């Protein structure tokens, strides 16, 4: 049976320090939970940059092409004579092309973010802990996964003790 060691810290400062220590000790599968993003935490956890920008770039390009091609095709396929303007009036296609680029980019930013975060995810072993409910209001937590190589409950308790942990809880994951 897997388990998660949940450690609570008192402030963003203590949490950042703890993440730095854990990274330096070679842990990489742990996660940090806080009510708001903490400046510098990505570096402390040694996370790679988010891939979201590339997803949005693709989404935006698709939107741009869709908008322009749709208007070109419609204007040639269903020719309307408007004040003698050419059917392929590309300057007039700019507003709709722009709007569709923004729309597709925004969709890929939002749904791409949810996909990268694997949300929605209504089950998580952490939700079993009543104590963890503070994480969305004023609690600062670190969760260490027992599947990580070198996970040793007692050793971790000792290590976390030296960096000012407030409270430790073991959560069992039955899945």
69 binds another protein (CB under 8 A): no
Note whether 140 and 33 are within 8 A (CB).
yes
Contact 52, 116 (CB under 8 A): yes
Question: Would you give the binding string for another protein spanning residues 38-57, x where CB under 8 A is met?
Answer: xxxxx--x-x--x-xx--x-
For another protein, the closer of residues 88 and 155 by Cβ is 88
Residues 75-94: x where in contact with another protein by CB under 8 A, - otherwise, as a string:
x-xx-x-x--x---x--xx-
Q: How far is 131 from 6, CA to CA, in rounded Å?
A: 10
Closer CB to another protein, 2 or 28, in the complex: 28
170 contributes a contact to another protein by CB under 8 A: no
CA distances from 77 to 19, 63, 88, 167 (A): 60, 21, 11, 69
- φ/ψ of residue 81, rounded to 5: -90, 110
Q: Which is nearer to another protein, 1 or 119 (CB)?
A: 119
What's the CA gap between 145 and 80, in Å, rounded?
A: 64
DSSP 118: T
Q: In this complex, which beta carbon is closest to another protein, that of residue 52 or of residue 168?
A: 52
- By C-beta, is 36 or 150 nearer to another protein? 36
Beta-strand relationship, 31-33 and 2-9: unpaired
Query: 97-136 mask for another protein (x: CB under 8 A)?
Result: -xxx-xx-xxx-xx-xxx-xx-xxxxxx-xx----xxxxx
Cross-strand pairs, 31: 143
Closest approach, Cβ 28 to another protein, in A, equals 11
Q: What are phi and psi of 136, to 5 degrees?
A: -95, 5
Q: What is the DSSP letter of 168?
A: E
Contact positions vs another protein (CB under 8 A): 11-13, 15-16, 31-42, 45, 47, 50, 52-53, 56, 70-71, 74-75, 77-78, 80, 82, 85, 89, 92-93, 95-96, 98-100, 102-103, 105-107, 109-110, 112-114, 116-117, 119-124, 126-127, 132-138
């Amino acid at each position: 049976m897997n388990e998660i060691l949940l450690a609570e810290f008192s402030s963003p400062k203590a949490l950042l320090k703890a993440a730095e220590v854990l990274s330096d000790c070679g842990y990489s599968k742990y996660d940090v939970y806080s009510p708001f993003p903490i400046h510098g935490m990505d570096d402390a956890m040694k996370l790679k940059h988010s891939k979201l920008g590339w997803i949005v770039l693709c989404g935006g390009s698709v939107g741009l092409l869709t908008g322009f091609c749709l208007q070109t095709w419609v204007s040639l396929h269903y020719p309307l004579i408007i004040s003698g303007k050419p059917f392929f009036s590309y300057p007039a296609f700019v507003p709709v092309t722009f709007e569709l680029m923004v729309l597709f980019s925004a969709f890929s930013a939002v749904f791409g973010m949810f996909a990268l975060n694997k949300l929605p995810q209504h089950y998580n072993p952490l939700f079993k802990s009543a104590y963890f409910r503070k994480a969305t209001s004023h609690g600062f937590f670190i969760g260490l996964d027992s599947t990580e190589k070198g996970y040793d409950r007692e050793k971790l308790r000792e290590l976390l003790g030296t960096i000012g942990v407030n409270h430790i809880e073991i959560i069992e994951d039955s899945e």
